[in-house]
């Protein structure tokens, strides 16, 4: 294992290559379905070499998840109490949908983890995530009190945004099997936008 000093040029490069490869592999096959050899070869390293940078398969997975959690939650974090309610929500949705389009691997990484009961991130869910959701939920609630948007169950409103946007990344194969050549995201953006405008207009 590399010493605990400032990372060398090579360390930086290889760690990054490993995480990138791991994202590919884990998001496509899940934790159990991925092998260290697969990740190593995708990263252009030998297996022992990879294990020189991360102590175990589990460690790579953990590093990936925790490294990406912040990115993943950033859009919700940015929901601004001071902004225009409907606009804030619509642009949150827009960003989430864009993430499904541009970061589908990240979405599927979390999806894989969640569907299987989130054995490795249960903690983050009931702490960080819950806190964030409750906080933003309160903001939504305030907007509803002020009559700025229609009154609905705030938690379910947030769930619905996650469900609708992440669906296009997580179940991409299914969506494409049905839509054929059509670009899923064109129609999705339009559809979802309409949906929330109608739902939330007081």
CB of residue 40 to a copy of itself, shortest distance in Å: 18
- Of 47 and 95, the one with the shorter C-beta distance to DNA is 47
Q: Tokens for 45? A: 């390293």
Query: Contacting DNA (CB under 7 A), which of 22, 45, 89, 149?
Result: 45
Q: By three-state DSSP, how is residue 34 classified?
A: coil
How would you class 181 by CB atoms within 10 Å of its CB: exposed for 0-12, middle for 13-18, buried for 19 or more?
A: exposed
Contact of residue 103 among a copy of itself, DNA, none (CB under 5-8 Å per partner type): none
Contact of residue 188 among a copy of itself, DNA, none (CB under 5-8 Å per partner type): a copy of itself
- Mask 16-35, x = binds DNA (CB under 7 A)? ------------------xx
List of residues 6+ apart from 92 with CB closer than 8 A:
75, 76, 78, 79, 161
81 lies in the site for DNA, by CB under 7 A: no
Query: Contacting a copy of itself (CB under 8 A), which of 80, 115, 135, 202?
Result: 115
Footprint (CB under 8 A) of a copy of itself, residues 126-185: 126, 129-130, 133-134, 150, 152-153, 155-157, 159-160, 162-164, 166-168, 170-171, 173-175, 177-179
77 lies in the site for a copy of itself, by CB under 8 A: no
How would you class 127 by CB atoms within 10 Å of its CB: exposed for 0-12, middle for 13-18, buried for 19 or more?
A: exposed
Cα end-to-end span (Å), the chain: 58
Please give the full DSSP string across 105-141, using - where no structure is assigned: HHHHHHHHHHHTT-TTTHHHIIIIIHHHHHHHHHHHH
- Of 7 and 159, the one with the shorter C-beta distance to a copy of itself is 159
């Amino acid at each position: 294992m590399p010493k605990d000093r400032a990372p060398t040029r090579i360390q930086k490069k290889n760690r990054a290559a490993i995480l990138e490869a791991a994202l590919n592999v884990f998001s496509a096959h899940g934790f159990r379905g991925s092998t260290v050899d697969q990740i190593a070869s995708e990263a252009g390293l030998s297996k022992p070499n990879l294990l020189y940078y991360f102590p175990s398969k589990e460690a790579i997975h953990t590093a990936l998840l925790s490294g990406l959690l912040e990115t993943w939650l950033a859009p919700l974090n940015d929901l601004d109490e001071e902004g225009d309610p409907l606009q804030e929500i619509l642009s949150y949705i827009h960003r989430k949908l864009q993430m499904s389009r541009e970061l589908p691997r990240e979405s599927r990484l979390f999806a894989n983890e969640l569907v299987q009961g989130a054995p490795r991130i249960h903690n983050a869910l009931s702490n960080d995530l819950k806190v964030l959701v409750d906080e933003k939920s309160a903001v939504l609630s305030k907007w509803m009190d002020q009559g700025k948007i229609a009154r609905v169950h705030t938690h379910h409103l947030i769930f619905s945004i996650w469900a609708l946007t992440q669906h296009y990344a997580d179940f991409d194969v299914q969506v494409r099997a049905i839509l054929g050549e059509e670009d899923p995201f064109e129609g999705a953006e339009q559809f979802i936008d309409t949906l929330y405008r109608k739902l939330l207009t007081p």
